[in-house]
């Protein structure tokens, strides 16, 4: 291994080029800092390469196949729908490549130095970047750590060609006849739905009483109804025990109601959570504190216990969401530049690309009550929305959570078509301190799905037009 003779100096070193790291690097450069970003894998991190983007591409491919089978209620019937899965995967790869190459262009356009290799901290102001042939030392004034997370491997389910993590599930070269999904969280539901739409017989094993934990039960009901129509079997309070693997499939054993059951499938997909990538990078050498889960402790500007080292994304407290990481990246970069920006998580949305989609932002009704607010919950169904009717996608509703005394919007939940887009206006409403009246007085184009937000605001005011 060749070791660099002299350290390279930089103002701000960013470790990790995922949606947190590359955004932090660009924002830091925009504030006048000399920035170096280091990434051991591909630019864009998990999200762009093996997470958010390819999964949504596969989900969309599943929707296309599902739609191609026609709709008898509309008088549309089709025959002999076929899928060339190799072309689906090639198209998915093109989507990923466009975005990752775009990230590289953005970094270079903002004069960020890009370095490939693995990082190990030497001390609070020094780290080494290593690849198979070289080792180079860098010194920095400030550092933003954004190393992301890795899928958790549960006991007796070692990842193989047949026992998959989310990355493996996205890179299959065939559409399975049968798949067992262990974990009914958002990743399991999204990928399970995608493969069900592609024709796979899917069974979901969830250890708790409900799928999509963290969302209210009334929001998950339309999702469960849709999964049942797709012949997806959901087994709750089921604990996965082990897997026997053969050349052409797996036999998964699980326990439910005190009884052990088995199920045969082509593949088992394990989606039970992620762990932070904070080991083996020398954080102890830099003196950075982590908790017993490996999460880095930060203040409200993403600063660790070392004043010049910041941490963002999946390695700090909070949900492992790409948009949370990007937001924190901006806060950390601006804090380094001397701005008084601080993190505020109230208006960070959570989205599940199920069928129908589920989204939430701010407080839930119960969460607001637990926090001491006197609130009103106002619902409007997609079944009373003209655009949803024309799309033949009427399952679901929007629920607005407002303070009773002044109508301030403090939360919202949506289950229904394009919930991932509908939620954006509600996040803005919370961030801007808007009331139900502000939303109701905003003219929404007709016919659009966005009208459900205005209609729910009318319900909150006691003056509903299109529902009783």
Candidates 408, 325, 405, 305; CA nearest to 363 is 408
310 is in an annotated binding site: no
At 3 the pLDDT is: 56
132 is in an annotated binding site: no
Q: What is the pLDDT of residues 164-191, one digit of tens each?
A: 999 999 999 999 999 999 999 999 999 9
416 is in an annotated binding site: no
173 is in an annotated binding site: no
431 is in an annotated binding site: no
Q: What stretch(es) of the chain map to CATH 3.30.390.30?
A: 356-461
**Dihedral pair phi/psi, residue 253, rounded to 5°:** -105, 140
Q: What is the pLDDT of residues 404-435, one digit of tens each?
A: 999 999 999 999 999 999 999 999 999 999 99
Candidates 78, 359, 330, 102; CA nearest to 214 is 359
282 is in an annotated binding site: no
pLDDT for residue 2 is more than 60: no
Confidence band, pLDDT 50/70/90 cuts, at residue 340: very high
On the question of a cis peptide bond just before residue 167, with omega within 30 degrees of 0, the verdict is no
Active site residues: 446
Q: What is the mean pLDDT of residues 230-254?
A: 97
109 is in an annotated binding site: no
184 is in an annotated binding site: yes
How large is the greatest C-alpha to C-alpha distance in the chain, in angstroms?
76
345 is in an annotated binding site: no
Domain 2-151+275-336 CATH class label: alpha beta
Percent share of the chain, pLDDT over 90:
97
82-95 in b/e burial notation, b at 16+ Cβ within 10 A? eeeeeebbeebeeb
312 is in an annotated binding site: no
Q: What is the pLDDT of residues 304-336, one digit of tens each?
A: 999 999 999 999 999 999 999 999 999 999 999
44 is in an annotated binding site: no
Report d(CA 264, CA 417) in Å as an integer: 33
What is the token pair recorded at 224?
Answer: 């469960």
186 is in an annotated binding site: yes
Q: What is the pLDDT of residues 11-63, one digit of tens each?
A: 999 999 999 999 999 999 999 999 999 999 999 999 999 999 999 999 999 99
Q: What is the mean pLDDT of residues 445-465?
A: 98
Lowest mean per-residue pLDDT among 152-156, 295-299, 358-362: 152-156
Beta strand 238-246 with 249-256 is: antiparallel
386 is in an annotated binding site: no
Q: CB 209: neighbour CB atoms within 10 A? A: 9
187 is in an annotated binding site: yes
Q: What is the pLDDT of residues 363-395, one digit of tens each?
A: 999 999 999 999 999 999 999 999 999 999 999
pLDDT for residue 148 is more than 90: yes
Domain 163-272 CATH class label: alpha beta
Report d(CA 236, CA 87) in Å as an integer: 35
Report d(CA 217, CA 142) in Å as an integer: 44
Contact 258, 169 (CB under 8 A): no
At 468 the pLDDT is: 86
Q: What stretch(es) of the chain map to CATH 3.50.50.60?
A: 2-151+275-336, 163-272
pLDDT for residue 1 is more than 60: no
What is the token pair recorded at 321?
Answer: 């969401």
pLDDT for residue 64 is more than 60: yes
Residue 6 or residue 464, greater confidence:
464
The superfamily (CATH) of domain 356-461 is: FAD/NAD-linked reductase, C-terminal dimerisation domain (3.30.390.30)
pLDDT for residue 82 is more than 60: yes
Report d(CA 411, CA 347) in Å as an integer: 8
102 is in an annotated binding site: no
């Amino acid at each position: 291994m060749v070791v660099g003779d002299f350290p390279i100096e930089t103002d701000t070193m960013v470790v990790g080029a995922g949606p947190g790291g590359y955004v932090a690097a660009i924002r830091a450069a925009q504030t006048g800092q000399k920035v170096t970003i280091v990434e051991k894998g591909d630019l864009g991190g998990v999200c762009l390469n093996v997470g958010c983007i390819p999964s949504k591409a596969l989900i969309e491919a599943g929707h296309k196949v599902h739609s191609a089978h026609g709709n008898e209620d509309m008088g549309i019937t089709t025959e002999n729908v076929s899928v060339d899965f190799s072309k689906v995967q090639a198209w998915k790869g093109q989507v990923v490549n466009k975005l990752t190459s775009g990230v590289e262009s953005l970094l270079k356009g903002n004069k960020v130095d890009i370095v490939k290799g693995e990082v190990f901290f030497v001390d609070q102001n020094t780290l080494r970047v290593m690849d198979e042939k070289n080792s180079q030392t860098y010194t920095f004034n400030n550092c933003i750590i954004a190393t992301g997370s890795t899928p958790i491997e549960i006991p007796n389910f070692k990842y193989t060609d047949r026992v998959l993590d989310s990355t493996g599930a996205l890179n299959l070269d065939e559409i399975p006849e049968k798949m067992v999904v262990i974990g009914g969280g958002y990743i399991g539901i999204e990928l399970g739905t995608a493969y069900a739409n592609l024709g796979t017989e899917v069974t979901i094993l969830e250890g708790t009483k409900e799928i999509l934990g963290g969302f209210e039960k009334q929001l998950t009901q339309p999702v469960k109804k849709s999964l049942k129509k797709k012949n997806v079997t959901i087994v709750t309070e089921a604990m996965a025990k082990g897997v026997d693997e053969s050349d052409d499939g797996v036999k998964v054993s699980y326990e439910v109601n005190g009884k052990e059951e088995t199920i045969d499938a082509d593949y088992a997909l394990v989606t039970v959570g992620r762990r932070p990538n904070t080991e083996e990078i020398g954080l102890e050498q830099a003196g950075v504190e982590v908790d017993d889960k490996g999460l880095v402790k930060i203040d409200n500007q993403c600063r660790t216990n070392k004043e010049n080292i910041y941490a963002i994304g999946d390695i700090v407290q909070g949900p492992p969401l790409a948009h949370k990481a990007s937001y924190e990246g901006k806060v950390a970069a601006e804090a380094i530049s001397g701005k008084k920006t601080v993190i505020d998580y109230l208006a960070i949305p959570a989205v599940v690309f199920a069928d129908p989609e589920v989204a939430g932002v701010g407080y839930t009704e119960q969460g607001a009550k637990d926090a001491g607010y006197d609130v009103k919950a106002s619902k409007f169904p997609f079944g009373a929305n003209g655009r949803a009717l024309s799309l033949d996608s009427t399952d679901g509703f929007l629920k607005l959570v407002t303070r009773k005394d002044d109508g301030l919007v403090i939360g919202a939940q949506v289950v229904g078509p394009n919930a991932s887009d509908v939620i954006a206006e509600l996040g803005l409403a919370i961030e801007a301190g808007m009331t139900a009246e502000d939303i109701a007085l905003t003219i929404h184009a007709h016919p659009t799905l966005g009208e459900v937000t205005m209609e729910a605001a009318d319900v909150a005011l006691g003056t509903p037009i299109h529902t009783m």
